[in-house]
């Protein structure tokens, strides 16, 4: 059930607090032992589609208006859910030798909303920060990706079935059933001769379609959404490879012959739960979406994650989200650097290093921080002037050419955003945000480019029954409409319209959406929130780098002192006696590990 707005500890507060934490590394606290489930459900809950009911004299009921295939909605765990429409598909396959994935059989499912990508480390960390979830497990000889900021948008792994179910429940969702998961991966084919083997089609898996079979070096999970060529017919990503995924069903190798034809929920009991999809180290056979695997619910693995399905109907959308800007900052030709290298003999050791002179306007230096590396290894550096940095480190071998990389790290807003909005939202220049409300017509009923004026305002035109992702086809108006069906005037009073919002949000009846008085840094995986009020891809926010090659010289060879009989000063062998003869032109020389009195 959706969390009640009357709860005293708003979930939203914990989520927003977590966004601040993302500026640092993800949690790195030692995890407890895997949680022993106190109780396990005997069957997965399946949302039931409300039966169509007449709504007064209106020409359409709520269930007559459905999101188009592939529509997405934003969720408060910073994820996107994609819509899979109701209908039939072929589950499993036929093979002469049989198996737990046989026979192929037609299954009918209600429509459902499922995570477009796997649940990520940063999303799961928000649940941990809220005190609802426990940390993923650690493994010997395998990096703990969960605490590594570079893997914030990689799938969370090392969670058992119960941990996955707790997270889904925290966001008012559940684990998908086997049937839902396979349909979302395969598509709606009705005959085995047209059923696609993999999400992308019938082509054999390759490293440009998915992360599997140790494609990456080192072998590890990839960030979600890294493989757009492997997208499924319903616009889901990573349904094959990257990480296996828990589903809700108990496992029974003989379940398919007795599976019900509509909304199968799996066996009532069992000893193991099913997981699907293959991982980063899986073989080509293991990444088939119809392949079944099973594991005890208290166990976990470093290549096993999950995604969720919303329970019941989705709540109203957010009233507004930040503007998106996916245009990278252009390279500034006016900035660069000069580098010189040196080697010093300091007696007991020799030290190599480089001095960096930054070539950029002095008034812009405060807008950046800088990092320096040599041959890919960071150097220890410190500024000794506003535009100069001194560095030293072990990668600088003597008498070699070394590639020096200097990165300027963006610490503030550099360019005004190019305003773009996610599907189903419209740019509002007054607030500089993306609003869920349809754009209002101007004088004479004029609408923005790409919209048509109708009795319900400015809406995108429909092409047949097809609408852009994020919108729905409304047959009574022959128009496209935002995902929130209850904004349609004819359905505004329909009792089936969901009007509950998440904790920390208030329902806005005028625009049929959820709003908050708190700042909402809402960005999807791969984007970071930057002021004022917009999202930009993290890869462009982090840094811009330039390189130069510099020669590192050898340290000078110490010159031995001249024989004492060749100069007056050379007879003095201590610094104090040498300095005492300074009036006679003597001075104490230190050259590396050698020191002597020099002079006439």
Residue 580 CB coordination number (10 Å): 12
- Round to whole Å and give the CA distance between 340 and 126: 46
Query: What's the Cα-to-Cα distance from 125 to each of 55, 120, 136, 305, 432, rounded to whole Å?
Result: 43, 8, 10, 14, 30
Question: For residue 218, what pLDDT is reported?
Answer: 92
**Of the residues 262, 287, 314, the one at which a domain ends:** 314
User: Buried b vs exposed e over 503-536: b needs ≥16 C-beta within 10 Å?
Assistant: bbbebbeebbbbbbeeebbbbbbbbbbbeebbbb
Which two tokens mark 379?
């150097």
* Other Cβ atoms within 10 Å of 115 Cβ, number: 28
| Higher local confidence (pLDDT), 263 or 323 | 263
Q: What is the DSSP letter of 111?
A: -
- Domain-located, residue 14: no
Three-state DSSP class for residue 475: coil
Q: Tell me the C-alpha distance between 570 and 493, whole Å.
A: 105
Positive or negative, the Cα torsion across 9, 10, 14, 16? Answer: negative
Does residue 567 sit in helix, strand or coil?
coil
**Domain extent for 188:** 70-314
pLDDT at 46: 25
Reported confidence tier of residue 124, pLDDT bands at 50, 70, 90: very high
**Residue closest to 247 by CA, chosen among 83, 126, 114, 120:** 114
| pLDDT reported for residue 64 | 47
Residue 284 has pLDDT above 80, yes or no: yes
- Please check whether residue 503 lies inside any domain of the structure: no
- The conformational region for residue 399 under phi > 0 = left, psi -120 to 50 = alpha, else beta, is left
Asked if the model's pLDDT at residue 230 lies above 90, the reply is yes
Is the distance from CB of 81 to CB of 75 less than 8 angstroms?
yes
**Among 256, 327, 284, 295, residue whose Cα is nearest residue 105:** 256
Q: Which residue, of 314, 344, 379, is where some domain finishes?
A: 314
Q: What is the DSSP string of 118-148?
A: PPBHHHHHHHHHTTSS-PPPPBTTB--GGG-
Contact (CB, 8 A) for 66 and 111 = yes
Cβ proximity of 184 and 239 under 8 Å: yes
Min mean pLDDT across 2-6, 136-140, 269-273, 586-590 is at 2-6
Question: Does residue 181 form part of some domain?
Answer: yes
Q: What is the pLDDT of residues 234-274, one digit of tens each?
A: 889 999 999 999 999 999 999 999 999 999 999 999 999 99
Average pLDDT estimate for 373-396: 84
Q: Which is it for strands 244-250 and 304-306: parallel, antiparallel or unpaired?
A: parallel
280 to 237, 297, 447: CA distances (angstroms): 14, 21, 48
For the chain, give the mean pLDDT.
77
Any residues with CB less than 8 A from the CB of 30 and at least 6 apart, and which? Answer: 135, 138
**Position 309 confidence tier, pLDDT thresholds 50, 70, 90:** very high
Listed range (23-32, 164-173, 402-411, 520-529) with the worst mean pLDDT: 23-32
Task: Name the phi and psi angles at 324, rounded to 5.
Answer: -105, 135
499, containing H or E segment: none
Residue 65 domain-assigned (yes or no): no
Joined tokens for residue 546? 């330039």
- The per-residue pLDDT for 465 is 63
For the segment 20-46, the average pLDDT, to the nearest whole number, is 33
Return phi, psi of residue 528, to 5°: -125, 150
Which of 37-51, 175-189, 359-373, 462-476 is the least confident region?
37-51
Can you tell me the distance from the alpha carbon of 116 to that of 125, in angstroms, rounded to the nearest whole number?
19
CA-based nearest residue to 80, from 72, 88, 90: 72
What tokens does 81 get? 């859910």
- C-alpha atoms less than 13 angstroms from C-alpha of 354 in its C-beta half-sphere: 34
Q: d(Cα 374, Cα 103) in Å, to the nearest integer?
A: 59
pLDDT score, position 264: 97
CA 106 to chain centre: 35
Minimal CA–CA distance to 84: which of 229, 181, 189? 181
CATH of the domain at 266: 3.90.1580.10
- Would the pLDDT of 55 be above 70? no
* Residue 419 exposed, middle or buried by CB count within 10 Å (0-12, 13-18, 19+): middle
pLDDT value at residue 414: 44
Indicate the pLDDT class of residue 574, thresholds 50, 70 and 90: confident
Last residue of one domain, picked from the residues 260, 287, 314: 314
Neighbours of 446 (CB within 10 A): 10
Is the residue at 449 inside a domain?
A: no
In a domain, 249, yes or no: yes
182-198 mean pLDDT? 72
Number of other CB atoms surrounding residue 320 within 10 Å:
24
Task: Work out the burial of residue 71: count CB atoms within 10 Å of its CB; fewer than 13 is exposed, 13-18 middle, 19 or more buried.
Answer: buried
What is the percent of the chain with per-residue pLDDT over 70, rounded to a whole number? 68
The helix (run of H) or strand (run of E) holding residue 506 is strand 506-508
Q: Which has the closest alpha carbon to 350: 403, 311, 280, 398?
A: 398
Report which of residues 98 and 57 the model is more confident about.
Answer: 98
Torsion over CA: 72, 73, 74, 78 (sign): negative
Compute how many other C-beta atoms are within 10 angstroms of the C-beta atom of residue 20. Answer: 9
Query: Which helix or strand (DSSP H or E) is residue 103 part of?
Result: none
d(CA 223, CA 156): 10
Residue 268, token pair as written in the block: 């009532």
- Number of domains observed in the structure of the chain: 2
Residue 305: inside a domain? yes
Element (H, E) at 556: none
Interatomic CA distance for residues 170 and 179, integer angstroms: 23
Given a cut of 70, is residue 488 above it in pLDDT? Answer: no
Decide: helix, strand or coil at residue 373.
strand
Domain membership of residue 210 (yes or no) is yes
Q: Is the pLDDT of residue 19 over 50?
A: no
Question: How far is it, in rounded angstroms, from Cα 401 to Cα 389?
Answer: 20
The C-alpha angle 228, 437, 507, rounded to 5 degrees, equals 100
**Residue 148 reports pLDDT greater than 50:** yes
Residue-by-residue DSSP string for 521-581: ----TTEEEETTTEEEEHHHHHEEEEEEEEEEPPPPPPPPPPPGGG-SGGG--SHHHHHTT
What is d(CA 156, CA 169) in angstroms, rounded to the nearest whole number? Answer: 16
């Amino acid at each position: 059930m959706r969390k009640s707005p009357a709860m005293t500890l708003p979930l939203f507060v914990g989520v927003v607090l977590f966004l601040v934490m993302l500026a640092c590394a993800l949690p790195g606290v030692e995890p407890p032992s895997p949680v022993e489930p106190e109780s396990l459900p005997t069957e997965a809950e399946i949302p039931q589609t409300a039966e169509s009911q007449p709504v007064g004299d209106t020409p359409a009921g709520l269930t007559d208006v459905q999101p188009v295939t592939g529509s997405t909605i934003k969720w408060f765990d910073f994820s996107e859910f994609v819509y899979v429409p109701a209908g039939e598909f072929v589950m499993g396959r036929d093979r002469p030798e049989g198996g737990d994935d046989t026979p192929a059989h037609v299954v009918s499912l209600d429509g459902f909303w499922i995570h477009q990508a796997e649940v990520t480390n940063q999303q799961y960390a928000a649940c941990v920060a809220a005190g609802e979830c426990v940390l993923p497990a650690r493994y010997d000889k395998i990096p703990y990706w969960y605490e590594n900021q570079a893997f914030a948008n990689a799938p969370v792994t090392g969670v058992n079935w119960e941990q996955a179910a707790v997270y889904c429940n925290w966001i008012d969702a559940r684990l998908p059933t086997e049937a839902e998961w396979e349909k979302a991966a395969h598509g709606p084919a009705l005959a085995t001769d047209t059923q696609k083997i993999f999400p992308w089609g019938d082509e054999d898996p390759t490293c440009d379609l998915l992360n599997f079979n140790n494609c990456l070096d080192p072998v590890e999970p990839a960030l979600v959404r890294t493989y757009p060529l492997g997208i499924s017919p319903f616009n889901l990503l990573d349904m094959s490879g990257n990480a296996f995924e828990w589903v809700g069903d108990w496992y029974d190798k003989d379940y398919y012959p007795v599976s019900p034809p509509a909304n199968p929920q799996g066996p009532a009991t069992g000893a193991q739960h099913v997981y699907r999809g293959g991982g980063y180290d899986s073989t080509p056979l293991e990444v088939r979406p119809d392949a079944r695997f099973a594991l005890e619910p208290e166990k976990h693995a470093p290549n096993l994650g999950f995604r969720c399905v919303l329970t019941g109907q989705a709540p109203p959308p957010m009233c507004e989200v930040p503007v998106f800007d996916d245009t990278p900052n252009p390279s500034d030709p006016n900035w660069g650097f000069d580098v010189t290298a040196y080697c010093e003999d300091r007696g007991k050791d020799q030290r190599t290093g480089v001095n960096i002179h930054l070539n950029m306007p002095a008034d812009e230096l405060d807008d950046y921080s800088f990092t320096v590396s040599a041959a890919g290894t960071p150097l220890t550096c410190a500024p000794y002037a506003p535009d100069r940095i001194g560095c030293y480190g072990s990668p600088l071998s003597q008498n070699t050419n070394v590639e020096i990389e200097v990165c300027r790290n963006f610490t503030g807003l550099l360019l005004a955003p190019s305003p773009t909005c996610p599907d189903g939202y419209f740019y509002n220049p007054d607030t500089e945000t993306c609003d869920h409300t349809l754009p209002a017509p101007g004088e004479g009923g004029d609408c923005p480019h790409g919209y048509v004026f109708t009795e319900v305002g400015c809406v995108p035109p429909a092409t047949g029954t097809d609408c852009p992702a994020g919108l729905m086809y409304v047959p009574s108006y022959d128009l496209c409409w935002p995902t929130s069906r209850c904004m349609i005037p004819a359905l505004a009073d329909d009792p089936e319209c969901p009007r509950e919002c998440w904790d920390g949000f208030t329902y806005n009846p005028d625009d049929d959406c959820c709003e908050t008085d708190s700042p909402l840094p809402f960005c999807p995986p791969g984007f970071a929130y930057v002021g004022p009020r917009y999202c930009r891809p993290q890869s462009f926010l982090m840094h811009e780098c330039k390189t130069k090659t510099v020669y590192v010289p050898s340290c000078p060879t110490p010159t031995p002192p001249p024989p004492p009989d060749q100069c007056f000063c050379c007879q003095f062998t201590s610094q104090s006696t040498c300095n005492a003869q300074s009036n006679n032109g003597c001075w104490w020389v230190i050259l590396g590990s050698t020191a002597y009195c020099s002079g006439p």
